[in-house]
């Protein structure tokens, strides 16, 4: 015990050190509004709409903003999306699975009924379109001709 208590002894005979006081201007971090994000969303929507997307620009913006903000996508919807993708022989990016989950959870305007009545497969095809994965979307649609009215007449 004696050895430990000796280690903690302080030397009070020495002059105390002078600590210089420094003033700081402390501000809460508030990021600047990101115009690039809004511009990127607008450009993304233009491409999405030109490819035949069914969401309005406001719906698309809301989905993309929610995708940016969510840190952990709904695991149930991600698993469901990945299961449909595996059955079709494609692999989804985590972003596509997250967008699918957002579309499943989104509450569209009840008067428009745009995508609220879409099947799971059609929602996944829409998520692939939003992400811009045309090749996977084509394969997915090809595997479900009865759902996408691609059957032979």
Torsion of CA 70, 75, 80, 82, to 10 degrees: 80
Residue 88 contacts residue 139 (beta carbons within 8 Å):
yes
The reply to whether 150 falls in a domain is no
The reply to whether 27 falls in a domain is no
d(CA 110, CA 113): 5
d(CA 89, CA 83): 10
Domain around 52:
36-143
Residue 89 contacts residue 34 (beta carbons within 8 Å):
no
Span 12-34, pLDDT tens digits: 666 666 656 555 544 444 344 45
Span 115-145, pLDDT tens digits: 557 788 999 999 999 999 999 999 999 998 8
Q: Residue 64 burial by CB count (10 A; 0-12/13-18/19+): exposed, middle or buried?
A: buried
Span 73-100, pLDDT tens digits: 778 888 999 999 999 999 999 999 999 9
- Total domains present in the chain: 1
pTM above threshold 0.75: no
Residue 54 contacts residue 126 (beta carbons within 8 Å):
yes
């Amino acid at each position: 015990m004696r050895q430990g208590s000796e280690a903690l002894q302080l030397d009070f005979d020495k002059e105390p050190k002078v600590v210089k006081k420094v003033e700081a201007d402390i501000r809460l971090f508030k990021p600047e509004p990101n115009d690039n994000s809004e511009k990127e969303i607008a450009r993304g929507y233009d491409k999405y709409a030109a490819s035949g997307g069914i969401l309005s620009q406001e719906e698309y913006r809301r989905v993309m903003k929610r995708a940016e903000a969510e840190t952990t996508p709904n695991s149930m919807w991600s698993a469901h999306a990945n299961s449909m993708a595996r059955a079709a022989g494609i692999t989804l990016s985590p972003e596509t699975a997250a967008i699918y989950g957002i579309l499943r959870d989104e509450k569209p305007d009840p008067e428009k009924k745009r995508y609220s009545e879409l099947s799971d497969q059609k929602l996944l095809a829409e998520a692939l379109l939003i992400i811009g994965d045309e090749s996977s979307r084509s394969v997915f649609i090809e595997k479900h001709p009865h759902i996408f009215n691609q059957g032979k007449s």
